[in-house]
Amino acid sequence: MRLFKVFKMALLGIWSNKFRVLLSIFGVVIGVFAVIALSAISLGVKDTVMKQMGGLGAEQIMVMPGRVLKDGGGAHNFLNGVSSLPSTLTNTDAEEIRKLESVESVTPMLETVGRIQYTKENEEPTSVEGMLVGTSGSYQGVFHTTLKEGRFFTEEEEANKDRVVVLGSGIHASLLNQKQELPEIDPAQQAEPEKTWWQKLLDRLTGSSVSAADAPAEEESLVGKEVTIQGETFTVIGVLESEATLGMTSDNSILMPVQNALEVTSTENLTSIYVKADSIENLDQAEKDVHAAVKLNHPETDFSTVKQTEMLDAIDTVTRILQVMLVGITATALVISGAGIMNVMVMSVRERTREIGIRKALGASTIEILFQFLFETILLCLAGGIIGLLLGYGFVTWWNGAITIFPLVLPMWVIQLALGSSILIGIVCGVYPAIKAAILQPSRALRFE
Amino acid sequence: MIRLSNIRRSYRSAAGRESVLEGLDFELDEGEYVAIMGASGTGKSTLMNILGTLERPNGGEYIFRDKKVHRMGNGKLTLLRNEEIGFVFQNYQLIPNLSVYQNVLLPLSYKRKWQSKKRARVKRALAMVGLEGKLKAKPHQLSGGQKQRVAIARAIVNEPSLLLADEPTGSLDEKTTESILEIFDELHEHGVTIILITHDPEVAKRAERILHLKGGRIKEQAYETLQSL
Ligand SMILES: Nc1ncnc2c1ncn2[C@@H]1O[C@H](COP(=O)(O)OP(=O)(O)OP(=O)(O)O)[C@@H](O)[C@H]1O
Ligand SMILES: [Mg+2]
């Protein structure tokens, strides 16, 4: 069989039906574009979050409110537990953990929304809302933040409950009116415990989209100045370097010793506690110790300890589920568009009955006719796939050039999946019309009107 | 060269089975030029389809150069008609979206063996019918006579030993008819076996033998009785 020739005939068949072809592959174009764009986004988010989580370091153990159901297989649906329960963790728990030998450092975290106000001489006070974070000096090590100026609070200041505060660069800039308002964080978001983890993640992802990275360099600084938080006066001792990243950016954070934060916000509970084991080898032991220590005050085990690696696994699992769903959506879209293509091809075979009769009379074998029409369908779908791919690629390139929240990732396997599935659709939807064409009886086909 | 014996062919129709060929016998020698005549609907095209292996009879034997065609599978039949038979169909049967050149090339592009100088062959075939200047034209840009000549060029491009022509002059004027009959004369001189189906006694007279199809059988027709048809 002269496959190449048959292939050329298929090309010609497509070329002579340009308009109909264009219409029929529209579905494939959209389907492939959707899978490219959506997977690039989901992979981009995953990549960014993973990098941040990974940045915490493998020795990290997180103590979180809520009970995690460990299924023993390594994957944990702890994320359900994280946000569906109000926290009962307290600073006493943190102190309890601090006593452990297998633990190197403990970073209590209280995260809530707070308002900060600064009054410049002879001017109206400026007030902005930010993420009020009560923590300890080890915060810097856990989240790899660096200071643009000033310093972080000391253990002594923590112990003395000195009214000192370290500002995120965005907050700092806003207080000085150096740039437009930071996006308001809706306090309701914090108050609603029934929000699921992914809603919160989404809130954070979108809420942090404005970064102070492009704020003009200013000589002016608040270090040493006094600000008001929840009606109390604090001294600014440092400003953080800006972080133009997605998720846990510290740009709109207001950092203060955890005791102060508890007082100022009149709460008793921490959001979470980050614990660093003294070594990787001791990690499992440390987790057990931490668990036991917290359990002293929580006999009903309304908390969980999660190792950073487990967290990564869980995020991986979640994004994997997302990807499976994505593949499902794509498959559905492609099957629907495939049905359209099959319809067009069946019509095309009918319309070209005489052509098929002529070809068979002049020496085309059953197989050659079969492949001619099969190639035609495959080429159609592949063309749709390639157009969709180019559109998707254009979208990813545009996004990465214009949007800085997080970069999109377009790995090879997505491209292969997109093109592979278009070819598959071509084969699946092409077989029936091709067989219909191939088994036509030549004399009857020639008589066809 | 060809022997048909006791060929039967019937079609299913609304009123039951309609018999078209009923025990037809027919013999043809190598290099002969015969005309087949008969009223419309008597089964001339059906006979041509059977001779051209496009259709199988319900019964009977078909021998082509000592080969039992009625025993052959589809693949062998495809090969046989590609190598040995040239078709001029009743109504041109050109593929509309292919150019003249591509239409004439068709039989060559389905050749099993590799062939050299395909382009030259196509051009030679078109030159023979006087259409070498229309290579790129599409069928809809041609007149009826030109289409018929393209169809003839396509039928002879693979140098068949048997040429089957169904009403090749059906709707053409006298002058065009004459030019086409001259092509047939030339092919005949080159030793091509020709079966020509026609309604026109003047056209039939150009052949060496005239056969008459009636009642599902073939009868030899005398030249002299032609006028009375
Ligand atoms: N595929 C088919 N199905 C049903 N009936 C058919 C089929 N092919 C041919 N026939 C019938 O067989 C008979 C002969 O048809 P055929 O085309 O061979 O006639 P013909 O002699 O070529 O006529 P004409 O001179 O008009 O071309 C007709 O009655 C036609 O209806
Ligand atoms: Mg006929």
A449 interfaces chain B, CB cutoff of 8 Å: no
Same domain, A150 and A247: yes
Q: What is the DSSP string of B148-201?
A: HHHHHHHHHTT--SEEEEESTTTT--HHHHHHHHHHHHHHHHTT-EEEEE-S-H
pLDDT above 80: residue A230:
yes
Same domain, A221 and A325: no
Same domain, A322 and A275: no
Angle at A377 between CA A373 and CA A381, to 5 degrees: 165
CA-CA-CA-CA torsion sign (A396, A401, A407, A411)? positive
User: In 3D, which of A30, A53, A27, A42 has the Cα closest to residue A396?
Assistant: A42
Report chain A residues whose CB lies below 8 A from the CB of B109. 2, 5, 9
pLDDT above 50: residue A90:
yes
Residue-level pLDDT at B171: 78
Q: Is residue A8, in this structure, part of any structural domain at all?
A: yes
E strand or H helix at A202? helix A197-207
Residues above pLDDT 90, as percent of chain A: 19
Ligand nearest B38 Cα, by number?
Answer: 1
Structure tokens at A360: 């068979």
Distance from CA of B96 to the nearest CA of A (A): 8
Could you give the CA distance from residue A339 to residue A382 in angstroms, rounded to a whole number?
Answer: 15
pLDDT above 50: residue A76:
no
Q: Is residue A24, in this structure, part of any structural domain at all?
A: yes
Structure tokens at A372: 């001619």
Same domain, A270 and A320: no
Beta bridge partners of B211: B36, B220
Residue-level pLDDT at A181: 43
pLDDT above 60: residue A208:
no
A351 interfaces chain B, CB cutoff of 8 Å: no
Could you give the CA distance from residue A274 to residue A431 in angstroms, rounded to a whole number?
Answer: 59
A144 interfaces chain B, CB cutoff of 8 Å: no
Q: Is residue A63, in this structure, part of any structural domain at all?
A: no
Asked whether the beta carbons of residue A362 and residue B106 sit closer than 8 angstroms, the reply is yes
Ligand nearest A446 Cα, by number?
Answer: 1
Residue-level pLDDT at B25: 93
Half-sphere exposure of A147 toward its Cβ, with a 13 Å CA cutoff?
19
Q: Is residue A365, in this structure, part of any structural domain at all?
A: yes
Provide mean pLDDT across the span A59-79: 62
Amino acid at A388: G
Same domain, A32 and A134: no
Q: Is residue A432, in this structure, part of any structural domain at all?
A: yes
Beta bridge partners of A60: A276
> Could you report the average pLDDT of every consecutive run of 10 residues in chain B (229 residues)?
93 88 92 93 93 94 94 92 93 92 93 77 92 92 92 94 93 87 93 94 91 89 60
Residue with tokens 């092409």: A430
Half-sphere exposure of A208 toward its Cβ, with a 13 Å CA cutoff?
23
Best residue in B109, B122, B150, B156 for a mutation probing chain A (most A CBs within 10 Å) = B109
Best residue in A14, A362, A447 for a mutation probing chain B (most B CBs within 10 Å) = A362
Q: Which residue of A has its CA nearest to B47?
A: A443
| A39: containing domain | 3-51+316-447
Q: Which ligand 1 atom is at minimum distance from the Cα of B44? A: 21
Could you give the CA distance from residue B199 to residue A277 in angstroms, rounded to a whole number?
Answer: 103
Instruction: Tell how far CA A168 is from the center of its chain.
Output: 23
Residue with tokens 């929304």: A113
Ligand nearest B37 Cα, by number?
Answer: 1
pLDDT digits (tens, 9 = 90+) for A268-306: 888 889 998 888 888 888 889 999 999 988 888 888 888
Asked whether the beta carbons of residue B52 and residue A365 sit closer than 8 angstroms, the reply is no
Identify which of B54, B106, B158 has the shortest CB distance to residue A442: B54
Residue-level pLDDT at A407: 80
Contact between A376 and A10 under an 8 Å Cβ cutoff? The reply is: yes
User: In 3D, which of A421, A439, A429 has the Cα closest to residue A344?
Assistant: A429
pLDDT above 60: residue A3:
yes
User: In 3D, which of A242, A273, A279, A236 has the Cα closest to residue A255?
Assistant: A236
Contact between A93 and A351 under an 8 Å Cβ cutoff? The reply is: no
Asked whether the beta carbons of residue B55 and residue A446 sit closer than 8 angstroms, the reply is no
Q: Is residue A60, in this structure, part of any structural domain at all?
A: no
Q: Which ligand 1 atom is at minimum distance from the Cα of A443? A: 1
Contact between B207 and B33 under an 8 Å Cβ cutoff? The reply is: yes
Same domain, A338 and A422: yes
Q: For the purposes of burial, counting CB atoms within 10 Å of the CB of B178, is it exposed (0-12), middle (13-18) or buried (19 or more)?
A: middle
- A131-135, A162-166, A321-325, B166-170: the lowest-pLDDT one: A321-325
User: In 3D, which of B133, B187, B189 has the Cα closest to residue B159?
Assistant: B187
Asked whether the beta carbons of residue B81 and residue A365 sit closer than 8 angstroms, the reply is no
Could you give the CA distance from residue A315 to residue A319 in angstroms, rounded to a whole number?
Answer: 6
Q: Is residue A75, in this structure, part of any structural domain at all?
A: no
Chain B interface, Cβ < 8 Å to A: 49, 52, 54-55, 74-75, 78-79, 81-82, 87, 89, 93-98, 106-107, 109-111, 154, 158
Q: Is residue A333, in this structure, part of any structural domain at all?
A: yes
Q: How confident is the model at residue A191 (pLDDT cuts 50, 70, 90)?
A: very low
Dihedral of the CA atoms A241, A243, A247, A253 (nearest 10)? 30
Identify which of B54, B79, B158 has the shortest CB distance to residue A361: B54
**Number of domains within chain A:** 2
A302 interfaces chain B, CB cutoff of 8 Å: no
At the fourth CATH level, the homologous superfamily of domain B30-55+74-227 is P-loop containing nucleotide triphosphate hydrolases (3.40.50.300)
Beta bridge partners of A126: A118
User: In 3D, which of A125, A8, A109, A75 has the Cα closest to residue A368?
Assistant: A8
Same domain, A251 and A118: yes
Q: What is the CA radius of gyration of chain A?
A: 31
Asked whether the beta carbons of residue B54 and residue A365 sit closer than 8 angstroms, the reply is no
Output the CA–CA distances (angstroms, integers) from residue A122 to A125, A176, B168, in the order listed.
9, 14, 106
Closest residue by CA, ligand 1 atom 31:
B41
Best residue in B51, B103, B110 for a mutation probing chain A (most A CBs within 10 Å) = B110
Pocket around ligand 1 at a 6 A CB cut-off: A 444, 447; B 11, 20, 38, 40-46, 90
pLDDT above 60: residue A263:
yes
Could you give the CA distance from residue A315 to residue A45 in angstroms, rounded to a whole number?
Answer: 10
